[in-house]
Amino acid sequence: MGLERRFGAQNYAPLPVVLKRAKGVFAWDVQGRRYFDMLSAYSALNQGHNHPAIIAAARAQMSRLTLTSRAFYNDRLGPFLGRLCALTGQDRALLMNSGAEAVETAIKAMRLWGYRKKGIPENQAEILVCEGNFHGRTTTIVGFSSDPDSYDGFGPATPGFRKIPYGSADALQRAIGPNTCGFLVEPIQGEAGVRIPPEGYLGAARSICAEGNVLFCADEIQTGLGRTGRLFGLDHEGIKPDLLILGKALSGGLYPISALLSRDDVLGLFKPGTHGSTFGGNPLACAIGEAALDVLLKGKLVQKADKLGRIFLEGLGSLKHPAIEGVRGRGLLLAMDFNREARPFCELLLRQGVLAKDTHGKTVRFAPPLIISEAQIKQALGLIARALSRF
């Protein structure tokens, strides 16, 4: 911790624990103490820590070929792209590394479509985003954030974005204009504190976008791949987006892998030289991604998240404390709101052997790996209750 403070940029405020190894739903610190991981690296570890099948796939590929750049074909990219398209019902996929890179790719794709297909005058395209959004940390993305910690000191903001209230279909309808090319939205706002929109909102937004000739772009980096008890967060309302952004659990926590998926008339507009990444689509990433999807689907982790999420939510709801203002969740993405700062509660959880993190001051997220068992959830609830008794 001292070395990080001495040599690192202080852009994080970690809880005071130094983790050394992990397996499944548990992590151990340098003293050998075990903790329930209730953050899952912000949903990157849906398959759990160090899943043996994903590790084996990574090792096998590392002994063959790790990187070619896209200057050449490799034998892993095509099959992985095909599998992603079959899984999502989209025509094409473009692989990047971090989630923020995939969001930037989506922004470029929506603008390009707006100019080439919708006929928006050059440099006039507008993308609608939601208040409370979190889509990454690049200068463009933080420019349309609602969080001063994200954007303060990093201006000027990139033009071409307009914020509207999250969860209001009427606000979306009113905001769409002739130069609107896209609507970028999270099915659940994770970083904002697991904000779940009103029932029917996403379906209405999808219809409004279709009627207004606007691309509906879903950021499923946190909510996708089983986290909410469905394969994708939009599946709760039976919606297929025009553009779909995936990341985090696409690698099972081993490697930065992200993807943008869309129709032919959107992603087909990219030509050689218009977009790229040295590491995007590398064979190691593709091998890891294939294994991560296998674990998710063959292990029925999506169905498990749905069932166990209900049990976890009911258990959190039964806990009593004068500081609790409410609990909510969908699948294994849950939150507990307090009427005071939540960081001290996270420190108490740490002492009880539970890793969780506060967000936006007064909210604590609970998002364990989807491989967690019912018995483990009940054990974790007991530790959470014990921490509450000391809060």
The catalytic residues are 134, 219, 248
Q: Which of 97, 99, 135, 94 is nearest to 261 (CA)?
A: 94
**Phi, psi of 4, rounded to the nearest 5 degrees:** -60, -45
Q: Measured between alpha carbons, how far apart are the two ends of the chain, in Å?
A: 25
Q: Three-state SS string across the chain, please?
A: CHHHHHHCCCCCCCCCCCEEEEEECEEEECCCCEEEECCHHHHCCCCCECCHHHHHHHHHHHCCCCCCCCCCCCCCHHHHHHHHHHHHCCCEEEEECCHHHHHHHHHHHHHHHHHHHHCCCCCCCEEEEECCCCCCCCHHHHCCCCCHHHHCCCCCCCCCEEEECCCCHHHHHHHCCCCEEEEEECCCECCCCCECCCCCHHHHHHHHHHHCCCEEEEECCCCCCCCCCCCCHHHHHCCCCCEEEECHHHHCCCCCCEEEEECHHHHCCCCCCCCCCCCCCCHHHHHHHHHHHHHHHHCCHHHHHHHHHHHHHHHHHCCCCCCEEEEEEECCEEEEEECCCCHHHHHHHHHHCEECEEECCCEEEECCCCCCCHHHHHHHHHHHHHHHHCC
Nearest-angstrom CA–CA distance, 391 and 385: 10
Nearest-angstrom CA–CA distance, 109 and 91: 14
- Rounded-to-10 torsion of CA 217, 223, 229, 234: -10
